[in-house]
Amino acid sequence: MADSWFETLKGRGPKRIAHWEHWSCPDAETYISGIDYYEHPKLCREKMLEIYPFLDKVFYMPADDTPKEKLDYEVVSVDENGHWHVRWGDTISTGWDFGSEFTSIEQVFEYSPLAANPDLLDEDKIYMQLMQQVPAEYGDKAPDEGSCMPYWYNTMFMWPLLTFGWELFLETCLDDRFERIMDEFTEINRHVFRSAARLPVNFFLCHDDIANTRGPVCSPAWMHKYIFPRYEEFWDILKSGGKQVVFMSDGNVNAFVDDIMACGASGIIAEPSTDYKTIARKYENCFIAGEGDNRVLSRNNPDEIKSMVLDMVETANMSGGYMMCIGNQIPWNVPPEALKYYFDLSSELGYRTKGVKG
């Protein structure tokens, strides 16, 4: 049987619409499967896939059935450094300390990304790190229909954001001195993407949170100076290695869709604030995912959930590259009965009812 993800990423999605879900809701797994996720995590997920086989790419399957510690219903804490930690799926989030080493604008402009990241200049070492995301059975050549998709989180925009933190990034990014810093981050990524181009895979995921729910973080002019030319360069490197590029971002990327596609991406996964139907109309059978909304699930209104699913199916009928996806995550506190209804409706209605071009 053909891999539904592979077929969809190639723009020829099968009748059964594939799912890409950002899953972190173990209580829903217990509710749906009837098997306590914390007592029997592997058995629970096996039952989930028996009930909903179209979720085969969603779940990481535990190696064994070793019980997991069950968290309190809601966990919120602050550590000695003032970092907040909250429940995230079956674990606790790490604290946001990006930029904590920088306290002034002067420190930003004294910083050298190349000097600070020597390991990311060794392409053999980078390659071995990226290979940890590739199944061992792939060997040294991607299967003809293999849909494994390694990723790089800091495609370009995330580098200064995660290095300096939001405030100092926004305070310094318009200064002419920032150009040298971005040039050094670019040089790091040349090594990364040359390494990625060697991987035995057919697809590569490039992540940058270039938008929030209201739209772009930085102006089009800034993006065209510092970001998009680098995307084009990096993605040309990947494509020269036979890779198809998928782009991922938070938020509403409507303002930058044309730029992303012009740089060489085959499609976009983002959040429900993005207009996926417009993308489907303009870019024939391109990959798109993220239209579903966890706020709809959280309200737990069956009519609203059904309307959302029907709307997603409508977009799938417009593009052979469409996957069903709750784009703003499925966190631990989404009502389990709402998720069950979403997946039950997907079982019943999640089919393309007419052919798409391609």
The single-letter DSSP state of residue 62 is P
For the chain, the structural domain boundaries read 4-71+101-349
What per-residue confidence (pLDDT) applies to 355?
66
Query: Is 230 within 8 Å of 270 (Cβ atoms)?
Result: no
Structure tokens at 147: 């849909």
Could you give the CA distance from residue 182 to residue 175 in angstroms, rounded to a whole number? Answer: 12
Q: How far is CA 285 from CA 148, 276, 315, 318, 321, in A?
A: 20, 12, 11, 8, 5
Task: Count Cβ atoms within 10 A of the Cβ of residue 247 and give its class: 0-12 exposed, 13-18 middle, 19 or more buried.
Answer: buried
Residue 304 CB: number of other CB atoms within 10 A? 15
| 9, 61, 303 from 198: Cα distances, Å | 20, 27, 48
- What secondary structure does DSSP assign to 16-32, as a single string? B--B---B--HHHHHHH
Strand-pairing partners, residue 351, are 16
Unique residue bearing structure tokens 């012009």: 262
91: enclosing H helix or E strand: strand 91-92
Q: Which residues of the chain have a pLDDT value below 70?
A: 1, 355-358
pLDDT in tens, 323-353: 999 999 999 999 999 999 999 999 999 999 9
Judge: domain 4-71+101-349, CATH 3.20.20.210: yes
Going through 196-256 in order, the beta strands assigned E by DSSP cover 203-207, 211-212, 215-216, 244-248
Instruction: Say what the pLDDT of residue 206 is.
Output: 98
Nearest to 244 by CA among 218, 265, 216, 223: 265
- Confidence at residue 95, expressed as pLDDT on a 0 to 100 scale: 74
- Provide the residue type at 342 as one letter: Y
Cβ–Cβ under 8 Å, residues 254 and 268: no
Please state, in angstroms and rounded to a whole number, the distance separating the CA atoms of residues 61 and 45.
Answer: 7
